[in-house]
């Protein structure tokens, strides 16, 4: 695993968490919708309850998944912070933290650090060369 792949794991996990949160919101919206249709035909009264119970069960499962992913993300970010802190150059540390922990776009990093975008890319390349990926992941 390259340094860039290693550091990028947090962003991808954060995106998956956000996607699952959107799914929960969508399921909550679905669960709160209440529609009824009036017909002369008798219906199974347990059908609607069963469907509602299925949606609620899916919401609970997804929320548990989100909580596990958040725990994983916190642990991963803690690990990434320790790897970044192992780099002596403070500018490299700042750039890597802004990119891989705060998920800022390159343009914002350039503005924050008072560099041109090309210089940020050069600095990034040098910073990545200093990253030591944990041995278990190589």
Its pTM stands at: 0.78
Nearest to 127 by CA among 102, 103, 100, 95: 95
CB 48 within 8 A of CB 97: no
One domain, residues 54 and 25: yes
| Residue range(s) defining the domain that contains residue 53 | 1-33+46-85
Residue 25 lies in a domain: yes
Binning pLDDT at 50, 70 and 90, where does residue 54 land? confident
Give residue 43's pLDDT. Answer: 60
One domain, residues 80 and 105: no
116-126 tens-digit pLDDT: 999 999 999 99
Q: Is the pLDDT of residue 34 over 70?
A: no
Q: Is the pLDDT of residue 97 over 70?
A: yes
Q: Is the pLDDT of residue 39 over 80?
A: no
Please give the tally of structural domains in the chain: 2
Nearest to 18 by CA among 66, 56, 59: 66
């Amino acid at each position: 695993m390259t340094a860039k792949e290693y550091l990028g794991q947090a962003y991808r996990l954060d995106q998956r968490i956000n996607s699952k949160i959107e799914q929960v919101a969508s399921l909550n919206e679905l669960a709160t919708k209440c529609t009824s249709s009036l017909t002369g035909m008798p219906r199974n009264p347990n059908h609607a309850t069963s469907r509602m119970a299925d949606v609620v069960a899916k919401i609970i499962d997804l929320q548990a998944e989100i909580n596990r992913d958040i725990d994983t993300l916190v642990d991963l970010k803690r690990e990434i912070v320790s790897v970044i802190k192992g780099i002596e150059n403070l500018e490299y540390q700042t750039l890597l933290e802004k990119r891989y922990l705060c998920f800022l776009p390159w343009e914002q990093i350039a503005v924050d650090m008072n560099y041109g975008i090309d210089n940020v890319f050069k600095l990034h390349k040098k910073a990545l060369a200093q990253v030591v990926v944990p041995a278990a992941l190589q």
